[in-house]
A = this chain, B = another copy of it.
Amino acid sequence: MKSEREIIEKLKKAFPKGKAEIGIGDDAAVYQNLVFTTDLLVEDSHFKREHPPFYLGRKSVNVNLSDVAAMGGEPLFVLMSLSLPPDLTDKWLDELMDGVKDACEKGNCTLIGGDISRSEKIFISVTAIGQVEKPVLRGTGKEGEKIVLVGRVGDSRAGREVIEEGLHGFEELKMAFFDPIPKLKEGKIAASFATSMIDVSDGLVLDLRRMLGKKGAVLYPSSLEPSPYLEQYCEMKGKDPLEYMLYGGEDYALIFTTPESPPLGRIIGEVKGEGGIQLDSLILREIGFEHFS
Taking a contact as CB atoms under 8 Å apart, the answer to whether B118 and A29 are in contact is no
The answer to the question of A109 belonging to the interface, with a C-beta cut-off of 8 Å to chain B, is yes
The answer to the question of A77 belonging to the interface, with a C-beta cut-off of 8 Å to chain B, is yes
The answer to the question of A90 belonging to the interface, with a C-beta cut-off of 8 Å to chain B, is yes
Taking a contact as CB atoms under 8 Å apart, the answer to whether A112 and B79 are in contact is no
Chain B residues within an 8 Å CB radius of A41: 117
Cα A129 to Cα B38 in complex, Å, equals 13
A residues sitting closer than 8 Å to B (CB atoms) are: 1-2, 4, 7-8, 10-11, 14-20, 22-24, 28-29, 31, 34, 36-46, 76-77, 79-81, 83-84, 86-90, 93, 97, 101, 104, 109-121, 123, 125, 127, 129, 291-292
Taking a contact as CB atoms under 8 Å apart, the answer to whether A291 and B31 are in contact is no
One complex includes copies of this chain to the number of: 2
Cα A216 to Cα B41 in complex, Å, equals 41
Measured CB to CB, the closest approach of chain B to A75, in angstroms, equals: 10
Taking a contact as CB atoms under 8 Å apart, the answer to whether A118 and B42 are in contact is yes
Taking a contact as CB atoms under 8 Å apart, the answer to whether B18 and A112 are in contact is yes
Taking a contact as CB atoms under 8 Å apart, the answer to whether A113 and B2 are in contact is no
A7, closest chain B residue (CB): B116
Taking a contact as CB atoms under 8 Å apart, the answer to whether A38 and B90 are in contact is no
Which residue of B10, B114, B119 is within 8 Å of A45 (Cβ)?
B119
Given contacts A24-B113, A77-B29, contact A123 B83 (CB under 8 A): yes
Chain B residues within an 8 Å CB radius of A120: 120-121
A19, closest chain B residue (CB): B76
Chain B residues within an 8 Å CB radius of A16: 110
Chain B residues within an 8 Å CB radius of A115: 38-40, 125
Measured CB to CB, the closest approach of chain B to A250, in angstroms, equals: 13
**Known A15-B110, A31-B129, A38-B125; 17 more pairs at CB < 8 Å:** A1-B87, A11-B114, A14-B101, A15-B101, A20-B110, A24-B112, A24-B113, A29-B79, A34-B34, A38-B80, A38-B115, A39-B115, A40-B123, A45-B117, A115-B125, A118-B291, A118-B292
Taking a contact as CB atoms under 8 Å apart, the answer to whether B121 and A1 are in contact is no
Which residue of B77, B86, B88, B90 is within 8 Å of A31 (Cβ)?
B77
Taking a contact as CB atoms under 8 Å apart, the answer to whether A116 and B4 are in contact is yes
Measured CB to CB, the closest approach of chain B to A66, in angstroms, equals: 13
